Amino acid sequence: MASSLAPIVLMILRRQESYGYQIIQELREKSGNKLEVAEGTLYPVLKKMEAKDWIEGFWKKSEAGRERKYYQITTKGKQELEEQYSQLNFINELIYKLWNLPLSTSN
Amino acid sequence: MEPATFNLELAIEKYIGQIKNYGSITGSDAAELKAHLYDATDELKKSRLSDEEAFIIATKRLGTEQVLNHEYEKVNTSVKVNRIWAYLFLGFNLFYSFPALILIAVGGFYQVVYQTYHSSNFSVVIVTSLHILLIALVWMFVWHKKVISKFIENEVENSALRIVLLSFTPALILFLLPASKHQLFTLAYPVREFQSHIAEFSLYVLIMSAAVAALSLVFSLNKMENLVSKSLFEKPSILFLILLSIVVEVFAASTRVIRTDNILISGLIFGSIYAILSFLIAYYNKASDVNKFLVIASLFGLSIEIFVGIHADIERGDTYNTAYFVGGMLLGISAGRKLGLGMSRENITS
């Protein structure tokens, strides 16, 4: 699960900077509450992505005065997203084609 | 109704603290998770949930401590690496600097006692009591190894830097002591100044205790059970038996400092050490394995006694001490074996 989250997180951050809780909310919303994953496991994924320089984290005070860690996508992250996007698309098409092949009736 | 005792901030603090105790997250990770819980509870409270209800749901969604730590561990390898270094420093200080300091302190203690009371009976009592006290300390250390390691683990998780720096204190004192270098190596000598076999022998018991304690710690490393004599002696490894045989022989040989006028009694005292060894092996093992283990555990002692003993007898001329010691040893082994086998059979049948 963890590794497949990365491109999705990149897609969310491509549009605007965000913080962990908000990213999770967006995931939840866009998946129609179907994404069943322990919310906390997103943070190690973010950390790994930060270590790979795909995203950059920085602390910022929220309106309520609490510190939150915000993330924004980097140039490297954008390149990575494009690569992963075309790869995922390719796999997706392949799956679609294979799935729709007629079932063998030879035996 | 919400119980008045629930405090959201405290609860979040405690929850994150527990995750942090596992040791795989950094301070920044903890702050991030804390911010998440605040955001999540704020959101949940908008739908009229109480603080406590919001907290329960938010933490449930966040995931269990185990899941989070498992995921974080993959990312935070440096946390793990740093912990290993902390343990290496602690190990060095705990097993080298700290004992070295104790040795020097004991040496200093001998000196003070000797200068004050000379080789009187009183000083023998003091010195022997000190040895007995230290023996008890050594075995207490082994006995409480779980508590001690738990304590160290906790300290490393919570404030590794503090405990590592603190553990260097004995090393620092060693470094500052000017005479430490030679005192360390001539330590066994001053105990003879008291001219007491009891004082000398109790020092040997202390040294052997430390050796056996170290052996038992090493050989319990890959055992799941608690450290008890059973976990060491039941199906012992050959290496353990060989190392033990050396320690036992050195220990048995050191009983010779207890001078008795009767060589027969000396032989029996010598043999009694082997009786204990033999008893422990026989008690914890199948009768069919016992003989093999006993041969391995006594081969070193037997050959040393025969070769070195005969050599010494020839050198002294007209003595036959070897016969008494080897005899005592064999007698001890067979007595211990018989007793051990007998008692273990009794245990099975009862």
pLDDT in tens, A65-99: 888 999 999 999 999 999 999 999 999 999 999 99
Contact B62 A20 (CB under 8 A): no
**How confident is the model at residue B224, as a pLDDT?**
64
What is the Rg, in whole angstroms, of the alpha carbon atoms belonging to chain B?
A: 29
**How confident is the model at residue A9, as a pLDDT?**
92
Residue B188 has pLDDT above 70, yes or no: no
Q: How many other CB atoms are found less than 10 A from the CB of residue B189?
A: 10
Residues of B in Cβ contact (< 8 Å) with A55 = none
Residue type present at position B177: L
Q: Contact, B294 vs B278, CB < 8 A? A: yes
Contact A21 B39 (CB under 8 A): yes
Contact A40 B62 (CB under 8 A): yes
pLDDT confidence band for B256 (50 / 70 / 90) = confident
**How confident is the model at residue A75, as a pLDDT?**
95
Closest-CA distance, B159 to chain A, in angstroms, reads 23
Q: Contact, B106 vs B134, CB < 8 A? A: yes
Q: What percent of chain B has pLDDT over 90?
A: 27
**How confident is the model at residue B113, as a pLDDT?**
84
A67 touches chain B (CB under 8 A): yes
> Residue for token digits 């700290």?
B98
Residue B158 has pLDDT above 90, yes or no: no
Contact B63 A66 (CB under 8 A): no
- Hey, what's the torsion of the CAs at B62, B65, B66, B68, to 10 degrees? 50
pLDDT confidence band for B182 (50 / 70 / 90) = low
Contact B39 A43 (CB under 8 A): no
**How confident is the model at residue B190, as a pLDDT?**
67
A78 touches chain B (CB under 8 A): no
> What pLDDT digit, counting tens, does each position of B278-312 carry?
999 999 988 888 999 999 999 999 998 898 888 88
pLDDT confidence band for A3 (50 / 70 / 90) = low
Residues of B in Cβ contact (< 8 Å) with A4 = none
pLDDT confidence band for B69 (50 / 70 / 90) = confident
A1-10 as b/e: b if 16+ CB within 10 A: eeeebbbbbb
**How confident is the model at residue A46, as a pLDDT?**
92
The beta-carbon neighbor of A40 closest among B39, B42, B68 is B68
A40 touches chain B (CB under 8 A): yes
Higher-confidence residue: B34 or B115? B34
> What pLDDT digit, counting tens, does each position of B78-87 carry?
777 888 889 9
**How confident is the model at residue B178, as a pLDDT?**
67
Q: Contact, A16 vs A94, CB < 8 A? A: no
Give mean pLDDT, residues B153-180: 82
**End-to-end C-alpha distance for chain B, whole angstroms:** 59
**How confident is the model at residue A16, as a pLDDT?**
92
Q: What structural domains does chain A harbor? A: 2-99 (1.10.10.10)
Chain mean pLDDT for chain B: 85
- DSSP tag of A103: P
Closest CA to B130 of B67, B202, B188, B80: B202
- DSSP tag of B93: I
Residue type present at position B308: V
**How confident is the model at residue B58, as a pLDDT?**
93
Closest CA to B28 of A71, A25, A80, A78: A71
Give mean pLDDT, residues B116-139: 89
A44 touches chain B (CB under 8 A): yes
pLDDT confidence band for B319 (50 / 70 / 90) = confident
Residues of B in Cβ contact (< 8 Å) with A43 = 29, 32-33, 36, 68, 71-72
Closest-CA distance, B91 to chain A, in angstroms, reads 31
**How confident is the model at residue B56, as a pLDDT?**
93
> What pLDDT digit, counting tens, does each position of A15-52 carry?
999 999 999 989 888 888 877 778 888 999 999 999 89
**How confident is the model at residue B349, as a pLDDT?**
63
Written as six digits, the tokens of B77 are: 């390898």
Residue B16 has, within 13 A of its CA and on its CB side, a CA count of: 22
**How confident is the model at residue B36, as a pLDDT?**
93
